[in-house]
Amino acid sequence: MTLPHAIRTGSWLARVALTSVAIGKFLQRGLQAGIRNFRSRNGAGYAAAAVAIAVSLSLAPKPADGSRPHHLPYPQLAWPLVINGSQYAPVAWADIAGWNEDDHLAAFKTFRASCKAISAQSGPAATDPRALGISLREPCHAARAAEITDNAKAGAFFEEHFLPLQISRLGEDAGFVTGYYEPIIDGSRTKTDVYTVPVYRRPSNLFVRGFTQDSPELPNKGDVFRKIGRRKLVPYYDRGEIEDGVIAGRGLEICWLKSQTDLLFAQIQGSARVRLEDGSTIRINYAAHNGYPYTPVGRVLIDRGIIPKDQMSMQKIREWMDQNPDGAKELRRQNRSYIFFREVQLSDKDEAVGAQGVPLTPGRSIAVDKSLHVYGTPFFIAGELPIESEHSKTPFRRLMIAQDTGSAITGPARADLYFGAGADAAKVSGRLRHNMQFVMLVPKSLDPMALGRKMPLPDPRPSAKIAKLFPQVNPLKNQQKDQKNPAPAAPQASTTSPTSTAQADATTSVPLPAARPDIAPSREGRRHRRSRRDHGDR
């Protein structure tokens, strides 16, 4: 194959020479000059083009299997911060409203509590598929080594080790918060005429893919099955079936409550304190669920026009259910999800334990979407909430730590604020359904701006002459045209021009050298070959 024909047909050798990043403008100019000189039968021009091709091939990476490289790919850089369905932008500390007025020392203590669980993790960061991975180890190591006892030093710690990013769902300018608490409910260890509603522990025939029965607690999302015999798996019982007693009498009862409404609210919150008749307390925490998606009963009441949206709260739900026992039974069954509990050894002075495995801090701990965020991540949440009363607009600008999760908490800027235990916490958390600003603090090792500076620039645009020599053809577009307008049958003799040959070859999925066309030699070519043969005879 001669060099002009290789260039005309756009073969693999010429393509690599022209698409290699290593050629640069200098080698491109040399190759163009070589082509022009070759056409004028200048041997030096042929040598210049050949040198340019040789240099480009020597600089091109070679596959390990020895196959021909089709292109020179850009380096594959892994972005450190990828959160599905979210948008985030850097923000200066000075531009975060209320940052300097917050109690950073309280947030620092809560963050250090999370660091105990983070430091206990083992394995490389690459094993964690979530955005932050275990990059929080670095600031956690610094937090546990530091002795911080005042608010100024605590604020300086966060500014030194973190970068603030304003985060929200795609297309939105704010996040959304609700509140939760730990109910205190009256109960009994045994069934009586007053305490008739069982609190069940996780059944032995409940299975979740990827988890064993030895797991202390199972995820709050995903498929859940009931095992029949040795191999058959079917969906687990829903709320209505369980309330009707389908698993009763199997020894699964932890304790007994007065009403299904008390149990429902304990299941919504994920934990509860059960006050026994002798004055002692049982602490129960989430252990598993039955596999059905959570349906908010408040939303059902709003959709039915029973409670207006602007008046919705947990207190309104409880009042309506207490006044309408039959309607409450039907309403509960709209939420087919059912939560099973486990008993935990906590004293009355201890706070509830979140999904991270550390005690929650009232006013500083939040529940987030576990599939998107990592426990221990700080979030600065700002806005106005009805803290003091139902209609108040109390400024709320506070650094919170992600330490828990919930089945209803989905999205990148979605949080459930923990307010503690008891009736007062229930009142505050029950009326929270508000839009708020979210600023996520990420470790400085995950600076997306720094990695963006390392992204390679695209190849320089080729000159007009090179683009004309090597036209880019869309094979799918041409294929669609051919299907709509089938070409007539080709004649016996080959009349393909060099330009059309190059375009046809460019549409192939794998650029291999094209066969040499069967073109009758010109008179000049016959004279040239005859002269070479004559020289050889001498």
CB 365 within 8 A of CB 290: no
Angle between helices 104-119 and 137-145 (to 10 degrees): 120
pLDDT per 10-residue tile (average), the chain, 538 residues: 40 38 43 46 43 40 46 47 84 95 97 90 54 81 92 96 94 94 96 96 86 65 81 92 95 96 94 93 92 92 93 91 94 95 90 93 95 94 92 94 91 95 92 95 78 64 78 65 58 48 48 56 47 41
- Name every residue whose Cβ is closer than 8 Å to that of residue 220 and which is 6 or more positions away in sequence: 286, 289, 405, 406, 407
Query: In this structure, which amino acid lies at residue 350?
Result: D
Residue 348's pLDDT is 84
- Name every residue whose Cβ is closer than 8 Å to that of residue 166 and which is 6 or more positions away in sequence: 88, 89, 90, 91, 437, 438, 439, 440
Residue 526's pLDDT is 45
CB 110 within 8 A of CB 391: no
Q: What is the mean pLDDT of the chain?
A: 78
Residue 121's pLDDT is 73
**Rg (the chain; Cα; Å):** 35
Q: What is the DSSP string of 222-250?
A: S-EEEEETTTEEEEPP-HHHHHTTTTTTS
Query: In this structure, which amino acid lies at residue 497?
Result: S
Whole-number Å distance between alpha carbons of 171 and 415:
18
Give me the residue label for tokens 């983070």: 118
Residue 358's pLDDT is 93
Residue 228's pLDDT is 84
Residue 77's pLDDT is 44
**DSSP label at 394?**
E
DSSP collapsed to 3 states, 320-348: HHHHCHHHHHHHHHHCCCCEEEEEECCCC
CB 47 within 8 A of CB 33: no
CB 263 within 8 A of CB 276: no
Whole-number Å distance between alpha carbons of 76 and 60:
17
Give Cα 244 distance to the centre of its chain. Answer: 39
Residue 304, CA distances (Å) to 296, 297, 409, 414 in order: 13, 11, 23, 26
Residue 480's pLDDT is 61
Residue 387's pLDDT is 92
Residue 121, CA distances (Å) to 50, 112, 118, 133, 140 in order: 58, 15, 5, 11, 12
- Can you say whether the dihedral through the CA atoms of 269, 171, 447, 148 is positive or negative? negative
